[in-house]
Chain A
Amino acid sequence: EPSSKSIENMRKFSEQYARRSGTYFCADKSVTSVVIKGLAEHKDTLGAPLCPCRHYDDKPAEASQGFWNCPCVPMRERKECHCMLFLTPENDFAGKDQTISADEIKDLTASLG
């Protein structure tokens, strides 16, 4: 399990970035919760929020290089987030929220990890 501190940091980052980019969280917030925890886990282990929805040959090298650190380059340039963390309004899976509470993350991932 990632640390509470990193989960909180990534939760706040996600809310802030969603607002800034005009994107929304998934209608199914369990998806959002899992990804936020994945980012937190990488923050703990690698020092950077490496995208948890990719497979890497060398995670530390990728974290240093930065392309896939959240927000990744595809997201910054084209608002493409295959983690389904930041969804444009026209995306079928987009909900209406740009906020997610710590309790929501905890409850929605209680059965995982």
Chain B
Amino acid sequence: MALLASTPGTGAIATAAATSLGAPKSSLGVPRSSCSSRSLGLKTLVAAMQQGSGSTTVVTSGQSSSSGVTEVDKDSFWPLVDGAGDKVVVLDMYTQWCGPCKMMFPKIVELSSRYSDVMFLKLDCNQENKPLAKELGIRVVPTFKILKHKKIVAEIAGAKFDDLVRTIDTVRTG
């Protein structure tokens, strides 16, 4: 199922494909990047967690979890998404000095405690994570990507909390 979300300012409709640089336009599924050898340790950890009771909070070595929102990077993102199973994944793509990002984050933390069946992740779109940011597609910051079964199914561009909640609910129940 593909959802369209509005972008700020222009009122234009943006699809995940349209905002994803270099990704195939035929579908909204964004291809996974191949995992580097550094992420093999993460894969092992994620596999172990899949065998357990599961949790919306995944803490891996080198990553930090802040009240249910896990910081990811270009190496840990896809392994965590792989390990999400049927859970909806919400990725908060932010930059260090983006004011609206800082405003939204406490609300995202609140959402993470409200939705036990959703995995909340955050990605600092800095130079180091640029390959992943480019793969996923981002222009406006913050951008929220919603994934299900390892594919991007919706996107919210901008600090639009109500739109984000509505979209999460639609994807969860879809």
Which residues in A have some Cβ–Cβ distance to B below 8 Å?
Answer: 26, 28, 30-35, 37-39, 41, 52-55, 57, 74, 78, 80, 82-85, 112-113
Contacts and interface: CB of A to CB of B under 8 A. Distances in A.
Given A55-B95, A55-B125, A57-B21, A84 B140 contact: no
B36 interface: no
Interface of B: 8-9, 21, 93, 95-103, 125, 133-134, 138-141, 143, 158-159
A28 B103 contact: yes
Given A53-B141, A57-B134, A82-B140, A74 B99 contact: no
A31 B104 CA distance: 10
Contacts of B141: 52-55
**Interface core residue of B21, B98, B99, B125 (most chain A CB under 10 Å):** B99
A30 to B, nearest CB: 7
A34 B8 contact: no
Contacts of A53: 95, 98-101, 140-141
Contact of A82 (B9, B21, B97, B134): B9
B70 to A, nearest CB: 19
B95 A52 contact: yes
A34 B99 contact: yes
Contacts of B21: 57
B172 to A, nearest CB: 27
A31 B125 contact: no
Between A31, A53, A80, the greatest number of chain B beta carbons within 10 A of the residue's beta carbon is seen for A53
18 contacts: A26-B99, A30-B99, A31-B100, A31-B103, A32-B99, A35-B98, A35-B99, A38-B98, A38-B99, A41-B97, A53-B95, A53-B101, A55-B93, A55-B140, A55-B143, A82-B140, A84-B103, A85-B99
A41 B97 CA distance: 8
